[in-house]
Chain A
């Protein structure tokens, strides 16, 4: 079964600094997708960034980028120039379809606090 591990329950970073959130996963599949979602206090799930496993190039989205290491099954999120609005819970998600249906497997989340 697929599992997703986020080993940092809480992190903090100074405004304008860079922070990296870690995520590891376990799967026997070769084709899958990885996502980072942001969940602010409103609890809405907001897509931050997406990575296809077949792509070697790391995804970037403005201040957000990932370090995808397929062999190591690692998918970390780097937030550059951190802003107060980045304060939120961040969930890593693995998407595969071992039984024919795509479904998301989420990690336990990292609570990020950006300090002024």
Chain B
């Protein structure tokens, strides 16, 4: 069964460094998303991406964040200058039609 994959599973970085989180969505899906879950809290929407552009972003998704689909298969989330409060689990999701979103296993980001 096709699934969303994410790499790395765990990323440790120093405050102020740039990180890129990678996702490979399910191949025939057209809608892509990033969500964030700070430890012990609920999952929060960050951004949605369709037709090679951002379709919606949350207040969390400020200028430090960017997304890209550099080729036909990858979908990346870049954080330009990480802060301590960026430490969280980041989930990528993809969907064929937008409603049912399939989540990847997540990348745990730790900012020291």
Verify if A64 is at the interface (C-beta below 8 Å from B): no
Tell which of B41, B98, B103 touches A97, judged by Cβ atoms closer than 8 Å.
Answer: B98
**B residues near A107, Cβ cutoff 8 Å:** 42
Tell which of B43, B45, B106 touches A91, judged by Cβ atoms closer than 8 Å.
Answer: B43
Whether the pair B43, A101 counts as a contact (CB closer than 8 A) is no
Whether the pair A42, B105 counts as a contact (CB closer than 8 A) is yes
A28, B59: Cα distance in complex, Å: 21
**A residues near B89, Cβ cutoff 8 Å:** 43
Verify if B35 is at the interface (C-beta below 8 Å from A): yes
Given the interface pairs A91-B43, A103-B48, A106-B44, the reply to whether A47 lies near B100 with Cβ below 8 Å is yes
Verify if B91 is at the interface (C-beta below 8 Å from A): yes
A42: nearest chain-B partner, CB-CB: B105
Describe B's contact surface by its main secondary structure.
strand
Verify if B74 is at the interface (C-beta below 8 Å from A): no
A4: nearest chain-B partner, CB-CB: B42
Whether the pair A44, B106 counts as a contact (CB closer than 8 A) is yes
A100, B31: Cα distance in complex, Å: 13
**A residues near B75, Cβ cutoff 8 Å:** none
Interface residues in A68-98 (C-beta closer than 8 Å to B): 91, 95, 97
Interface residues in B62-78 (C-beta closer than 8 Å to A): none
Whether the pair A100, B56 counts as a contact (CB closer than 8 A) is yes
**A residues near B91, Cβ cutoff 8 Å:** 45
Which positions in A face B, CB cutoff 8 Å? 33, 35, 37, 42-45, 47, 50, 91, 95, 97, 99-109
Nearest first, the 4 A-B pairs at minimum CB distance are: A45-B103, A102-B98, A101-B56, A106-B43
